[in-house]
Structure 1
Amino acid sequence: MQSPFIVELNEQNFRQVLEGSMQTPVLIHFWAPMSEESAQVIPELQMLAQQYNGAFTLALLNCEQEQMIASQFGVQALPTIALFINGQAVDGMGGPQSLTAIQQMLIKHLPSQDELNLKQAIELIQSGQHSQALPLLEGLTDELKQKGDVKLALTDCYLETQNFDQAKKVLEHIPLEYQDNYYKGLVAKLELHAQAANSPEIQSLEEALAQDPSDLKLSNELALQYHQVNRDEEALELLWNIVRGDLNALDGEIRKSFMDILSALGQGNPVAGKYRRQLYSILY
């Protein structure tokens, strides 16, 4: 199986592979064609290495071909599995083992899937791929999402994907020890958006509506202006307060604006989901 996470050990590369365990753990599988049990488990180990997606390197050592290396490790039985981290053997098992037993050994020493997802998300953010990083971060456990560095990463993604309401909510709960230059930069981005989102035109419409709250055309226009500057929750709330009392308000124009904003936000948006459910509750 061709993979960057799987290597065949030999005299030329085994020192380099072991040195690689300083950065990425290396699982060495000692096997030989004469040992059927040691050969049979190789496809399962290869699939495991693929599933872990680079969390460890699988190194296969054919003890018949590489007897000198095998003797250096003092292998007594086949199959034998040894896990190397920072150049040292930290765990291992001799004799036939179930895949579950091997996985349990790896779990003790390797990062969890959530930790791997977090690492991948941070790398995506650093390369400017915020929309790809966001679902990885949102899928983390609640415990991880309470950590300051995860909150900062989430805020960054929300800002870059123009989900400013969510960004503001998360940014308000950043622990003091995480309020560094990264945090200050995110605050500055949010403030710039807030300034742009409170244009003189919007302020004028808000003042006019405050004078005449029953003016449906003004409400509709203000909601659409809110939507233009990503103040979608305010836009939907303004329209919802009208639609729930009269689905055909302003000859159906209010409902159309409401539906248009829901459609623009898409299925995965939590704010849109909330108002979509409320709409369904009065339609059906």
Structure 2
Amino acid sequence: MSDTPYIFDVSSANFDQLVIENSFHKPVLVDFWADWCAPCKALMPLLAQITEGYRGELLLAKVNCDLEPDLVARFGIRSLPTVVLFKDGQPADGFNGAQPESAIRALLAPHVQEPPAPDIDPLESAQALFAEGHIGEAEALLQLLLSETPETADQAPLPEKTAALILYARCLAERGALDQAQSTLDAVKSDDYKQPLAAARAQLTFLRQAADLPEVASLKTRLAQNDEDDEAAYQLAIQQLARQQYEPALEALLKLFLRNRSYADGLPHKTLLQVFDLLGSDHLLVTTYRRKLYQALY
């Protein structure tokens, strides 16, 4: 038996109920097969995959011909596999032998209604696009989402809108619209999004700082000449954070903390905590470097 309600075994005892009666409501594909038939075993998973793809608009009934000789005789099955499509109580189409997916779908097309498109959460899509670095696409999707979820003065912000605003601010920050990103974050009043809000603020902070710092190449040159140049080490870490190069930035900040804890009133330690906020407590880098920081502290 299958785990899906759209695929099931049938016998002579329940064939009329499960196939004939059901076919008045939805097309039913009947697969006549046998355990000794190699093409049957090759075809069966393909039929199951196609049926599941229709998400209830098509049913698949399986007849084990070795166990159901009455059904074999009733429908004149002469070779295996044989697949018959029932519709409105009658065989409507079918085929013999293993067939490619394209041929099976062509047979089904005139008889089976295409399944409805799955609901796609626009916020989840935007989050995925942002994570993959497709900032412009994520921003466009968020603009559409925010325009479709207006709120009145006496209405609390919708949770989806709050999350979208925070992510929208991150998109703005990534493309350099830092002031607009800041005003967008300032508009978020909810206390339910402390971590995403802290992450967005940390990102914006690093981008603002990086804009006023020397170029990466210049900082690397300074460190090549003096690997204990604390200022250059810290500034390079900020440039790396602004470019989402988190692992080398964390390593540099931890190294600087171990070498000079008092640098700029403990700035490396504070920055490490900001990066932890940015990445979130479940991030592997956060787990690793939080442990290293704890060991350094205690």
Please give the range of the TM-score, normalised by the shorter of the 2 chains: 0.3 to 0.5
Q: Which has the higher helix share?
A: 1
Query: Which one has a bigger Cα radius of gyration?
Result: 2
Q: Normalization by structure 2: what TM-score? A: 0.43
